[in-house]
Structure 1
Amino acid sequence: MIGLVLAAGAGRRLRPYTDTLPKALVPVGRPGGAEAATTVLDLTLGNFAEVGLTDAAVVIGYRGEAVIERQAELEKKYGVKLHLVHNDKAEEWNNAYSLWCARDVLTEGVILANGDTVHPASVERTLLSARGNGQRIILALDTVKQLADEEMKVVTADGKGVRRITKLMDPAEATGEYIGVTLIESEAAAALADALKATYERDPQLYYEDGYQELVNRGFQVDTAAIGEVSWVEIDNHDDLKRAREIACLY
C-alpha cells in the first residue's frame, strides 16, 4: 500500500497564495515560526511516513512545477519516494478526473488524502486498523462535527455502508462528514476507475465523491470508519487557512 495525494487544484479562493502555488503547497505553519514553511503536502507525507508508507504518488496540475521543485527535498525529509502523476485538465475539470488520472496507482492499494485537508496521522491509523473484514474502500468519517451546507455529507446504513455521499443534502439526514481521506484496496481499483470515468464523462465538474456514489449505485459496498474527536480542517478559503494554522501546530 502507498500514499496518494490529490494536489492538482488551483484553490482560487486562497489568492494571492495560489497565484504561484497549488493549494497543497500553501503554508500552514504559523507565520514567523520555525515551521512557517510547512504545507498540507508536508503534513500529509509526514502522516504517511508515520504509519509506515514508504512510497507516495502526488497528482499535480495547476502550478505543478512548484511540487517538482520540492520533490527531492520532500523525499529526503519524510523518507517517502514520490511518484508524480500529471493531470492535464486540472484548471478545467474537477477532481473526479484528477483521481482517475491516478488509476494505475490505485492498483497498488492506497491511502488517498486530499491536498487541502489538515489532519493528524491518527486518521490514517484508524483506516488501517479498520481493514481485514472484506472492505475494499473505507472512508474516514467525522461523526462528531456539527454539519452545515458546504460539507461532504454521508449517509450510512448498518451492514450496507455508504448509501449517499453528497454536499446536496439536509445536514440533519447525514451520519457524518467525509473528511477527504480514504483507504482503497487494490482489488477496488478497476471498479473505481470505471466509476470515475463514467462520472467525469457525465459531467467534468463532478467530484470523485460522485464516483463513490456511482459505485454505490452499481451495488459496490463502500464502508466508513469513524475518526472520533479529531481536530482537522478542509482549506477552502482564508478563514479555513487560519484554522489550519491553529491545528497544524498541534501535530
Structure 2
Amino acid sequence: MIGLVLAAGAGRRLRPYTDTLPKALVPVVEADGENSRTVLDLTLANFAEVGLTEAAIVVGYRKEAVYERKETLERRHGVRLTLVENDKAEEWNNAYSLWCARDVIKEGVILANGDTVHPPSVERTLLAAQAAGGRDGGRVILALDTVKKLADEEMKVVTDPEKGVQRITKLMEPAEATGEYIGVTLIEPAAADALADALRTTFERDPQLYYEDGYQELVHRGFHLDTAPIGDISWVEIDNHDDLARGREIACRY
C-alpha cells in the first residue's frame, strides 16, 4: 500500500497564490523559509503517520514547483516520491488525472485529493476498515463524513447498508445524501483495472467529469463501493480563500 496525491489542478480561485504554484503547494501553516507547510506537506505527513513509506503525486499545472521541492519533501516526511505527469491538467478534469496514475493504483493506494486538509485519523479509519475484512476481491473504500450539514457544493453520497455506494454526485439534494465524500479513498490492487476502465469511459464521455463520476460508473457496472465513516472531525476542502482560512485554522490543531 502506498500513498497517492492528486496535485495537478490550478486552483484559480486561490490566486494570487496559484499564479506560480499548484493548489497543493499553497501554504497552510505559514512560517519562515522551509518551515511553512502546504496541503501536500500535511498529506504526506499523514501517510508517514500510518506507516506508508512511498507515495506518488500526479502533477500538471506548475509541475516544476513540485519537482523543485521533491527532495525536500522526501527528506522532511521520510516518504519516497514518484511524480506522475498529467499532460492535460489545464484542459481536462480529474477523472483523467486519476487515470494517469492507473499503474500506481495497481500497487494498492490511499488516494488523497491535493486540496483536502484532514487529520491522519482518516487514513487510520480506512486502513481499519480494510483490516476488518468483508467481501472477497478488490475493495474501494471511501472516507465519508456523515456528521457535517450538507449544502449544494459538496460531493454527496447515498449508501445502502447491503449494496454500498448507490450514488455519488454534487448534483443531489443534500437531504437525500448519507454523507459527504471527503476526497480520500483506499483502493486495493485487485480493483485497479476495473477502476481504470471506468475512468477511461468517464473522461471519454466528457473530459470535464470528476473521478467520482468514475466511481459512479463502477456502481453502474455492479461494483460494490464501500464507505468508512470518519466521525466528528475537522477537515476542509480548499477551493477559495475562505476555505484556505479555515484550513489554516484546522491545520494548527494537528
Q: Same fold (TM over 0.5)?
A: yes
Distance in 1, Cα, partners of 2:210 & 2:125: 24
1:125 partner letter: R
Task: Give the corresponding residue for 2:189.
Answer: 186
Task: Give the corresponding residue for 2:128.
Answer: 129
CA contact (8 A) 1:112 1:181 kept: yes
Task: Provide Cα deviations, 1:8-28, integer angstroms capped at 9, x if missing partner.
Answer: 000000000000000000000
- Which residues of 2 match residues 194-213 of structure 1 at below 5 A? 194-213=197-216
SS at the partner of 1:130? helix
Q: Following TM superposition, by how much is the alpha carbon of 1:133 offset from its aligned partner in structure 2, in angstroms?
A: 1.5
Q: TM-score, normalised by structure 2?
A: 0.97
Task: Give the corresponding residue for 1:138.
Answer: 141
Q: What's the % identity of the aligned pairs? A: 79
Task: Give the corresponding residue for 2:41.
Answer: 42
Task: Give the corresponding residue for 1:244.
Answer: 247
Task: Provide Cα deviations, 1:83-107, integer angstroms capped at 9, x if missing partner.
Answer: 0000000000000000000000010
Task: Give the corresponding residue for 2:224.
Answer: 221
Say if 2:76 is the partner of 1:80: no
CA contact (8 A) 1:28 1:36 kept: no
Superposed CA RMSD: 1.2
Task: Provide Cα deviations, 1:145-174, integer angstroms capped at 9, x if missing partner.
Answer: 000000000000011100000000000000
Distance in 1, Cα, partners of 2:244 & 2:13: 11
Question: Size of the alignment, in residue pairs?
Answer: 250
Say if 2:161 is the partner of 1:158: yes
In structure 2, the gaps of 5 or more residues are none
Task: Provide Cα deviations, 1:162-217, integer angstroms capped at 9, x if missing partner.
Answer: 00000000000000000000000000000000000000000000000000000000
**Structure 2 vs 1, CA of residues 28 and 35 (structure 1 numbering), >3 Å: closer, same or farther?**
farther
In structure 1, the gaps of 5 or more residues are none
**Structure 2 vs 1, CA of residues 145 and 233 (structure 1 numbering), >3 Å: closer, same or farther?**
same
SS at the partner of 1:169? coil
Q: TM-score, normalised by structure 1?
A: 0.98
Q: Following TM superposition, by how much is the alpha carbon of 1:35 offset from its aligned partner in structure 2, in angstroms?
A: 8.3
Q: Following TM superposition, by how much is the alpha carbon of 1:32 offset from its aligned partner in structure 2, in angstroms?
A: 4.8
